[in-house]
Amino acid sequence: MRFAASILSARCAVAGLLLAACGAASAATTVFFDGLQSYALVSSGTNADTIESEGYLFTYTLDKLFTGGVGMTEPIGRSSQVSWPAGLHAQAITTGPDTGVGANLTVRRVDGAVFDIHAITFQLWANTAGAGGTMEIMPLLDGEDLYNDPVMFGATGFYSQSFSYADGGGYQASTSTLRGADTYKMHLYVDWALKSLTVDGPEIPPVVPEPMRAVLLLMGAMALACRRRRCTA
């Protein structure tokens, strides 16, 4: 009898742990970029790539059709100055039908849910000191712009200079207007790199491998049975 009770108790403990793990979710607030965060390439287009990390999708332009100069016809693209986990390099398009669209990066969630941006740091990979520069961020909801004009963040400076903005902002622009959207489109007319981004949204459930689902359901049922019996013999 005692042996049976011990077996039942052990099963209850294992089932409870698995049920808790199954119900766990990533934190609502996520800070990119971290060496411990993994990423996966979702799609690769003519002038842009999309990657996924921590339940968020990043689509950023790449000058893939760049040929290397006048007289050259074979596209070789331009090398990225910043790569994961240091950040993401958005390149201005200089060759092909999209020439002139600038350097763009779009952030959205895999589940399409609404989220907020609380802080951002980006780095220039070209000089804007002469002509001046402004990072434009447009929040969208269900495909519609939330504002008549994008939110502006100063980006006048020199090659490799970084700019950081957060809630509050003081005399600087504030990210407090980057709220309640399911998509954020970021634009600058020259190359830049997203170095840090703090987002806040609904918790993202962990992905459970298909073969484990039946096992977890069974162990979950065992955990519920244990609760009813109070894990006693």
| Side-chain half-sphere CA neighbours of 77 within 13 A | 13
Residue type, 141: L
Residue boundaries of the structural domains of the chain: 1-24+208-233, 26-205
The predicted structure's pLDDT at residue 8: 41
Q: Which residue has the tokens 């399911």?
A: 182
Alpha-carbon distance of 172 to 58, in angstroms, equals 26
pTM tops 0.85: no
24 and 206 in contact (C-beta within 8 Å)?
yes
Which residues are within 8 A (CB) of 162 and not within 5 positions of it... i.e. 6 or more apart?
Answer: 121, 122, 123, 124, 195
Strand partners, 31: 198
Q: Which residue has the tokens 């895999």?
A: 110
pLDDT tens, per residue, the chain with 233 residues: 444 444 344 444 444 444 444 444 444 899 999 999 999 999 999 999 999 999 999 999 999 999 887 667 788 899 999 999 999 999 999 999 999 999 999 999 999 999 999 999 999 999 999 999 999 999 999 999 999 999 999 999 999 999 999 998 666 789 999 999 999 999 999 999 999 999 999 987 765 555 655 665 666 666 666 666 655 55
Strand partners, 107: 58, 184
The answer, yes or no, to whether the previous bond of 33 is cis (omega within 30 of 0) is yes
To the question of domain 26-205 being in CATH 3.10.50, the answer is: no
